[in-house]
Amino acid sequence: MAEMDAESVRTESQAGEEFSLTELSTEQLRALDRDTRDELHTLKAETEMLEKFCKRLDPKELLPAAPSDTAASPLDFSQMRNRRRSKSRSTISERLMSLSVDQKCELVQRELEGSKEEAKRDTENTERVLQSLQATMEEAEIRSLEIRKAKYEFERDIGRAAVSPKKGEGANPEKFHRYMEEKMLARDTLVDTLRLKNAALKTQKKKLQMQLKQKEEMGEMLNEVDFQQLKIENAQFLERIDERNQDLLQLKLTAGDTLQVLNSYKKRLQNTMAESTHLAKEISVRTEILQRIELETIQVEQEREKAESLNKKLRKQLGDYRVPDVSQYVQVKMEQEELEDLVRAWKRKVEIAELSLRTRHRTWEQMKAAHVPSDYRQLPEER
């Protein structure tokens, strides 16, 4: 709703009708500010693109077209809006005509082509600079190796004798002079070799140029149509390569998903194996417990059978039991009491006899300890 109000406000503003911003609501003002910011951003991007395009053009192309031309060119930038006065304001606002859609498309197309050409030129220049730097680095490495080798040979042949002389011998000028002559001779030989190689390369270059000229004269060189055909084939091959790359990427994604699924299944397998091991241990423990329970059950069953046989025997005895008479019970009870009294009396006699025996043993031990004569030792026995 706020956007529709802002659009209506903007339409009224463009038509020149009077309106006051104070009459708008907060939502309408926010929508109007947002739309204005978007339009300014778009106009800024288009302006930057137009400035870049104008910088690329020749100043002669920027001159206005002749008035006799009735059909406007796709990039006729002389079309501008006339100044007009608003009904609600006294100030004069200059409004330029915006480019048409075709003109914008052509401008963007030219700018894109120019950017591609610049990128291509920059790539070529970068490759040339890179190749030059690589060659310089290789040459520097070769020179560094040669310098280190020459330094090592110089220190080996001459430097050691000059720095640490043995037996009073110092640096030998003749040896140094001969060393330098050998080095200069080797350098001259290398220069001659490189000169001959350079001459051979120049001769080969001339031969190749003559062969190329002969092919051009005989019409064996590739013409524009062949180049276009090669470009088309190259584009087709590039499309196939892109398709294969897409297929390869899809296969890689599928392989990644498959690997994830495989890892999840491996993890589940590990968990299942651990659980299986745990269950196997628990089953073995339960089996041992079951075996012990079975043994205990067998023992209990045997004891039960024994108890049943004893119970049957006792029941049989109980069934055969006859209760005695009262007089017989009283007589048996009296006999039991007499026997118990007799047992108690005999127990008392036994205690008295044991006490007497201990007393006599004690007396005997005392007599043995006092070394009493043998005649007196027989007295306890006689008594």
Structure confidence by residue, pLDDT tens digits, 311-353: 998 888 877 767 667 888 888 889 999 999 999 999 999 999 9
Contact 62, 50 (CB under 8 A): no
Least confident of 8-22, 48-62, 208-222: 8-22
Compute the average pLDDT of residues 55-63: 60
Binned at pLDDT 50, 70 and 90, residue 170 comes out as low
Q: What pLDDT is attached to residue 48?
A: 80
Q: What pLDDT is attached to residue 371?
A: 62
What string of DSSP letters covers 222-250? --HHHHHHHHHHHHHHHHHHHHHHHHHHH
Q: What pLDDT is attached to residue 373?
A: 52
pLDDT in tens, 21-35: 677 778 888 888 888
Contact 86, 97 (CB under 8 A): no
> In this structure, what DSSP letter does residue 92 have?
E
Return the amino acid letter for 96: L
More confident residue, 67 or 346: 346
Binned at pLDDT 50, 70 and 90, residue 381 comes out as very low
Tell me the whole-structure pTM to 2 decimals: 0.33
